């Protein structure tokens, strides 16, 4: 029996030109959302992994790794199970931080903002962009499934796959528990490595009518 492997979501390491990278410039860009769009993968490119940090139901910080589904130029989107712990935490406190680290430790983007549930139409589009493995995972990644012994999990995975046409023709609709969140940022921090000098960060904080930029040590 063949169990599908998890597809790689991370792009190849970014080659940084330290003399021309916007974060190193003497005149840094003033629009952080445009800079984020320049950094992040475009349509048809591999999605990036990121750490989603929330406020736990007990008041303590909580974090887990998930996939950045999309960036539309204004908001950062990710998707999860509506019954997950992070969904419950965001329903109680929508404050969230996203930490995106590029392979090779070349770039890092930290986004602080407020999360809200995405419309179902947007969530369905994101679901159908996922690989067949991740589409199936959305159906079977449950507490009940996780508690099964490994042989039972393998068998039930294969049963589900066979019932939906086999590994070469899976076509799943999104489960009712599939949920999307859009994060509207109020602060963004951009960091770029620099082996020839101390690195630095650009911090952008949203004010009522513009973004305020501050240069920080790396």
- pLDDT tens digits, one per residue of 60-85: 999 999 999 999 999 999 999 999 99
Of 76, 53, 95, nearest in space to 180 by CA:
76
149 found inside a domain = no
193 found inside a domain = yes
120 found inside a domain = yes
Residue 67's beta-bridge partner residues? 49
- pLDDT tens digits, one per residue of 113-171: 999 999 999 999 888 888 888 888 899 988 999 999 999 999 999 998 888 876 665 56
134 found inside a domain = no
Domain span at 72? 22-129+176-217
Q: How many domains does the chain have?
A: 1
170 found inside a domain = no
124 found inside a domain = yes
2 found inside a domain = no
30 found inside a domain = yes
**CATH code (residue 110):** 2.30.110.10
């Amino acid at each position: 029996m063949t169990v599908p492997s998890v597809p790689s979501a991370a792009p190849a390491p970014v080659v940084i030109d330290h003399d021309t990278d916007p974060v190193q410039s003497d005149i840094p860009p003033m629009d952080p959302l445009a800079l984020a769009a320049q950094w992040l993968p475009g349509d048809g490119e591999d999605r990036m992994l990121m750490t989603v940090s929330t406020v736990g139901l007990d008041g303590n910080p909580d974090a887990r790794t998930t996939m950045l589904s999309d960036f539309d130029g204004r908001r950062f989107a990710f998707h999860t199970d509506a019954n997950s712990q992070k969904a419950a935490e965001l329903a109680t406190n929508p404050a969230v931080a996203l930490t995106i680290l590029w392979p090779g430790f070349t770039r890092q983007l930290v986004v602080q903002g407020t999360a809200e549930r995405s419309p179902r139409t947007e969530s369905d589009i994101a679901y159908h962009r996922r690989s067949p493995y991740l589409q199936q995972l959305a159906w079977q990644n449950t507490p009940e499934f996780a508690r099964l012994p490994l042989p039972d999990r393998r068998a039930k995975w294969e049963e589900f796959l066979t019932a939906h046409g086999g590994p070469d023709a899976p076509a799943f609709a999104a489960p009712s528990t599939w949920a999307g969140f859009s994060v509207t940022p109020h602060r963004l921090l951009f960091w770029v490595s620099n082996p020839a000098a101390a690195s630095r960060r650009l911090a952008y904080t949203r004010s009522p009518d513009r973004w305020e930029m501050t240069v920080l040590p790396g």
